[in-house]
Amino acid sequence: MELLTVILLGLTLTQCLGEHVRCKDPSEEHQRLKLSRVAPDAHMLLNKEDIVPDVTLKKCPQNVNHSSELIQDRSISPWSYRVNEDPNRYPRRLTEAYCLCKGCISTHNKEHNSVVSEPFYKEVPVLQKASKCKKGRHVYKLRYVKVAQFCICRFH
């Protein structure tokens, strides 16, 4: 009987501790509303529905594509987009620019290395998961992360 009591007590304790440790993420809707409440302009910086990230990274083009409708193709510092993913952040997926060339493409359609192509960063608001749990839910805090928006040319 004593052994049975110890086993039952152990199972009850394990269940209680297990429930205490478990912490769920807030719903997508809750996160979206919280971010819009603490950073009202976040939607302008984060919502890029018209941008499609690359599946495979692109290379530096031979020349500027003057006929493209996309500004990143017509630039002398061309760029494309990739996904920056962090499971401990809301939104988990951010679209960020990456430069296609080390240098910049000249008017003669050659890459010049006297200037460098570099990303232009903007700090964007996100909710970062904290180590705390409140009422069975993970706590998220407002943070700002630098995200590359496009690429520009800069002299060495």
pLDDT tens string for the chain (156 positions)?
Answer: 554 444 444 444 444 444 455 899 999 999 999 999 988 888 776 767 678 888 888 999 988 888 999 999 999 999 999 999 999 999 999 999 999 999 998 766 666 668 999 999 999 999 999 988 988 999 999 999 999 999 999 987
User: What is the pLDDT at residue 102?
Assistant: 93
Q: What is the pTM of this model?
A: 0.75
Burial 118-149 (b: 16+ CB within 10 A, else e): ebeeeebbbbebeeeeeeeebebeeeebebbb
Structural domains in the chain plus CATH codes: 23-155 (2.10.90.10)
User: What is the pLDDT at residue 54?
Assistant: 87
Distances in Å between the Cα of 135 and the Cα atoms of 3, 10, 22, 80 are: 35, 25, 11, 42
